[in-house]
Amino acid sequence: MIKLAISGCLGRMGQRIMALGAADHDFHISCLLESPNHPQADQTINGIKITTAPDALRGSDILIEFTTPEATMTHLAACRQHRVKMVIGTTGLSPEQRATITSAARTIPIVFSSNMSIGVNIVFKLAEMLAQAAPSNYEVRMVEAHHIHKKDAPSGTAKTIAEIIENSSNHKVTDIQAIREGEIVGDHKIIFESGEDVITIDHHAKSRDIFVKGALVAAKFLAAKKTGLFNMQDVLG
């Protein structure tokens, strides 16, 4: 059984990771982490005392992290110290922070992805295939929409799609329109347009559970790993 730690356990993602992780017999929830600034950080959930101390990760097997870049770096340091594997879905990380994750993967195994959804990772592959097949007369742009609480724009997923397209072909993504309204979970549209037609790849997330389920699959993937940096394409094979 995998001893699972959850960061940001009182947030929207954290609560769903707790619910689906508890329902999966491959996991035992061993640690619940929350920000010291959270007004409910002194609660107990299902007999587990919420903690704000990163050293409480000691003894856990894997931490799932969907929080802020600052919290992610703090918890990464604790995971390196206590040899806890990590699934990182945090977005908005700086190049320096991403480099720190790459360095840490020489000590502990990490799955790091801008989007843990299995469906979105299929879209990543479709975007690569379309970019390689489309002639140079196609202009490429994107539209992404998320809830008003999301701080980074464009989204990490949109940036990843742009990188995939540009690294696999001669196409450049000319524009990424970022929309922040309501409680949109996550929408991404990739548009290839020529003078004669328009080709679109469209993904709509109906609930956060698609990200949680992908993160739990990634955690199981890490169970047998000793070191290394992986993404969801590695997880899905």
Burial environment of residue 206 by CB neighbours within 10 A (0 to 12, 13 to 18, 19 or more) = exposed
Instruction: List, by residue number, the catalytic residues.
Output: 146, 150
d(CA 186, CA 211): 10
Could you give phi then psi for residue 2, rounded to 5 degrees? Answer: -90, 125
Q: Kindly tell me the sign of the dihedral angle through the C-alpha atoms of 94, 100, 102, 108.
A: negative
CA angle 159, 77, 62 (to 5 degrees): 80
Antiparallel, parallel or unpaired: β 44-45 and 48-49 = antiparallel
N-to-C CA span, the chain: 23
User: How many other C-beta atoms lie within 10 A of the C-beta of residue 220?
Assistant: 16
CA angle 221, 214, 23 (to 5 degrees): 90
Round to whole Å and give the CA distance between 185 and 217: 20
Residue 184: how many other CB atoms lie within 10 Å: 16
Angle CA 30–213–232, to nearest 5: 105
